[in-house]
Chains A and B, each alone.
Chain A
Amino acid sequence: MIRLTLPAASDAEAPYVARLNTGRGGVDEADAALVDEDAEGVTYLGRHGVLAIDGASATELDRDVVIVDPVGGRAERILRRGSGHNTLLVTERCDQLCLMCSQPPKKTHVDRFALFEQACLLAESDSLIGVSGGEPTLYKDDLLGMLERVLAERPDLEFHVLTNGQFFDDDDVARLRDERYTRVSWGIPIYAADAALHDRIVGKDGALSRLEKSMAVLARAGARIELRTVLVADNADALPRLARYVAKRLRFIEVWSIMQLENIGFARARWASLFVEHARDFGPIGDAIDYAALHGIRAQLFNFPRCTVPEPWRDLARASISDWKRRYADACAPCRERDACSGFFEWHPIQQAEDGVTPL
């Protein structure tokens, strides 16, 4: 597993952003340049003074963009070079409380938008940057402002924002029609077409109705939407009906991601009652995908190891798990489709993973 936060020492007074640089190919003003490396770690020098990071090599960290927290004594690798899975966690607050939340919300909010903005401006060319939470649109103005300024400055960047879609309203249509938003896609969860069921899963009354209002706003703005549905015991049998709902009411989405559960956060404690063994009964999932495909809606499967998906639908299973939290079972060693496979979350129950695979 790749570590995203490393112990670090710095004399700066406040958190700052730096791009770590071994010095090959020139050093920029925003860079912290390599001055020393030993078995413990790496030392850099930049405009905020000396920065010492432990537990990684200069090669590993080269061109990573980090947020240094001098008081906390750590450096967060916000944008790792060459990774397609960089994500900004802009808040830990949320207005929903989903049954299976992988990142349970906290009450407090630390505003780091200014640091994130600086980091994004240092991003590698042509990167896609994720934005997540908590619920990012609780701070909608800060969020949109950051996106707009970064996208104006950096025409090569794209963002993917995870949001529960509870806060868009009619006034946003004109703003979201701006050309820059063609480089933003919104990952929005929906769990069921039935309002009572959806609302129960997300722990908020009226959530589906409010989501519909936001969806209408986003559609009118021509926003790019990735619809997301996490599979849990509660909604598995309702998937075909959800597929009909999507094909009738949400035709404007780009893609529908059906996601297997991640064994972390709330889902860890409720694993036995939430996890659906799709390999045992793929029926409702296959029906839902077929119905969506029939109506020209592209569906894809996230976090479904390829060998656990029946052959007709297997090509829809993506290598979806972020590099830093992905692993394969020992039994996966001889598999020919490993590179195309999601594998498992680092924290997936180990025996369940070993027992569940059949190398292709």
Chain B
Amino acid sequence: MLLVGDAGDFALAERSMVERLCADALTDEDRDVLSREGLLIDDGDPLGRVAYAYGVAERIGHAGALDYLILVPTLRCNLSCSYCQVSRVAERSTGFDWNEATLAAVLRLIDGLETERVKIEFQGGEPTLRPDLIRAVIDRCERIPIRQFVICTNLQRIDDDVLALFDRPDVFISTSLDGDAATHARQRTGDGATTDAFLANLRFVLDRYGPTKVSALPTVDPARLPDMDGLIDSYAAHGIDGVFLRPINYQGFARKRHAEVRELDAAWRYYHSAFVRRLIERNWEDRSRVLEETYFSICLRRVFQPGADRHVDLRDPNPVGVDYVVVDHDGRVYPTDEARMLTRSGVIDLAIGDVFDGWEAEARDRLNAHATNRFDPTCMGCAYQPFCGRDLVDDLSRYGRIDLPRHETEFCRRHLAMFDLVFELIYSADPAVRYSLARWLRLPGTPTKFGVRLS
């Protein structure tokens, strides 16, 4: 049985030891091994007590001052992807770009940031339709010492203005590659010529900047799961080793249309797990490169290396509207990009304010009082609690409420499955598994074991 402490220490124990633990009948030897693993603090062990407190503190996510903005300078887009009906309008529409007042307000927001570092992600719509707005934002960040800009683009058209932005060392490119050309055409571009234009541009930016500056992620339709090797190959062929599998999240009206959504969620979980296992096989067969599924790696690192990632979708507590916000094309401010789309789809209005008058901290804080799994009765009985998180917006998008019993939510089912897989692999004796885990955990060598077994 897996024993896990609040600080995330864990070990596999024989059932007999767990029985002695429950019966308050631990032997001295039991106490020694449990103390050594950080799972028990003996009286008269001040260091053990401090180590435990420190370990728990390390697990607590810290949302600092606002330093991460997701900006939507335009909602217009030159593509019409099947899964993106709510978050775009046609390229020739009017009234869906920031106007002068909106830009001025965004720049004022930037002037007010009080941090030494800033990350700004340009979303859309297709943000490269307005390189002038991107440039204005980037220029305004000059005074902030550490800057990172990510342009989330469909890479359909790269004109000189856009290229000049891409050429900046502080700009990174994020794009969508849904798999092989046929899948990509079906879900995104609609025809071969448009797909070819995208693939040529993807090749161009990868050749020009290398894979560290360019990331891509596939949106996967759980109702039509792509062939795994085909998907992996489409990334490997471009020299991109990290794949962040992103399922279409049926929400709002789409959710009502897909009555079988719960079955789709289960199919997705199965696919994800099989995908990770396939990557392990491929990494073992070809040692020259390390392929990884990004979300699995994030979860794996959360088990061993608290604080290694700043991934805002999985942390605890996970308050919204504090260290990052989304500014939409009309200047309205949302706590997350999901919240923006949810609002557009008409399910619920999750805007917390706008960029002109600011946002209401009180309503946000009322919501954030629940942004932790720490005191949730279901989570408190879960071995994975120290590694897991909370996502209020995901709950709202699926159920319109945040107070469902945790284990009845897809967030919980998904992460239970995820951490089941993580721990199954941690205790695997297969050298191929250990090899991939070590690489995903960024270790110099490959440990002979990742988890302790108590006897």
A residues whose Cβ falls under 8 Å from a Cβ of B: 212-213, 215-216, 219-220, 244-245, 248-252, 286-287, 289-291, 293-296, 312-313, 315-316
Contacts and interface: CB of A to CB of B under 8 A. Distances in A.
B38 A248 contact: yes
Contacts of A213: 46-47
Nearest to A248: B38
Chain B binding surface SS class: loop
Interface residues of B, number: 28
A158 B362 CA distance: 42
Interface string B429-455: 000000000100111111110100000
A316 B47 contact: no
Given A295-B304, A296-B305, A290 B54 contact: no
A216 B47 contact: yes
Nearest to A282: B445
A208 B114 CA distance: 45
B95 interface: no
B48 interface: yes
Q: Which of A244, A249, A295, A312 has the most CB of B within 10 A?
A: A249
A213 B450 CA distance: 29
Contact of A289 (B54, B58, B444): B444
Contacts of B306: 296
B308 interface: yes
Contacts of A296: 304-308
27 contacts: A215-B47, A215-B50, A216-B46, A219-B47, A219-B51, A220-B50, A248-B9, A249-B38, A250-B51, A251-B55, A251-B58, A252-B50, A252-B51, A287-B445, A287-B447, A290-B445, A290-B446, A291-B447, A294-B305, A294-B443, A294-B447, A294-B450, A295-B304, A295-B305, A296-B305, A312-B445, A313-B444
A309 to B, nearest CB: 10
Nearest to A249: B51
B254 to A, nearest CB: 40
Contacts of A295: 304-305
Contacts of B443: 290, 293-294
B22 to A, nearest CB: 23
Chain A binding surface SS class: helix
B108 interface: no
B30 interface: no
A216 B50 contact: yes
Given A286-B445, A291-B447, A212 B38 contact: no
Contact of A290 (B37, B38, B50, B447): B447
Contacts of B450: 294
Contacts of B413: none
B49 interface: yes
Interface in B200-244: none
B36 interface: yes
Contacts of B55: 251
A323 to B, nearest CB: 28
Nearest to A219: B50
B51 A290 contact: no
A83 to B, nearest CB: 29
Nearest to B438: A290
Given A290-B438, A294-B441, A251 B447 contact: no
